[in-house]
Chains A and B, each alone.
Chain A
């Protein structure tokens, strides 16, 4: 499945991701790590923490609808993998992010921007293992 190279939209969208990340630090004093936000929702510690994470996720979930209202099209979602791969990948990624204490947003955006030594190790590691996995799945196993 071929996708179009979109440097401007991707850079602009990335800048908005950064803005949301800075807003969460400036407003609530929190790292914008999707794994810790989701974890705080499904394994709640205190009610205020739970409510804050639920509202954050609600805001995230409303985004595609706002895009539809503003421009008349839903964001594109093409899934080139099987449901089994989604389930298997989800479990493995969840396990891994839990052990690594972070994922693409927590280590990738927040951690790198803080120059965290742990994130400087985590990000190249998961980028390399993802690239290797895609190579194996697509070109060796040939799915």
Chain B
């Protein structure tokens, strides 16, 4: 049951990504291109997602535990530091160059386009490099993800 629930959850999320237009890099990049071809659709994606998640989270948190787990696992990190700000700035640069973010690219894999697989492979490479740098103590490890 736990895995069927996970499968349906992934499917619902993926359907939302596809229907919203978030899956399409041209649409994502036009959202950011305020000076030309501006397409404000993605603001509606964020508003729609948050409008459901804010009350939805509070509703499910009324239970003591999730249906198939022992506890709700929420990020413990509170600190606002250079690592958070610098990482976010870097993430935005990559998103703005490629037009993909992972939440959109994972469902897009189902289209069978090699460019999507290239993005996912490159993204995993970026995660691996970050893990290596953190492992070498060149950068501090995150408190939590």
Contacts and interface: CB of A to CB of B under 8 A. Distances in A.
Main secondary structure of the interface of B (DSSP, over half): helix
Contact of B46 (A2, A14, A22, A36): A14
Given A10-B45, A59-B8, A93-B101, A98 B127 contact: yes
B7 interface: yes
Tier of interface size on chain B: 35 or more
Contacts, number: 517
Tier of interface size on chain A: 35 or more
Nearest to B142: A101
Contacts of B46: 14, 108-109
Contact of B110 (A4, A7, A63): A63
Contacts of A107: 88
A94 B125 contact: yes
A113 B107 contact: no
Given A22-B53, A27-B2, 4 more contacts: A19-B56, A28-B9, A42-B127, A113-B50
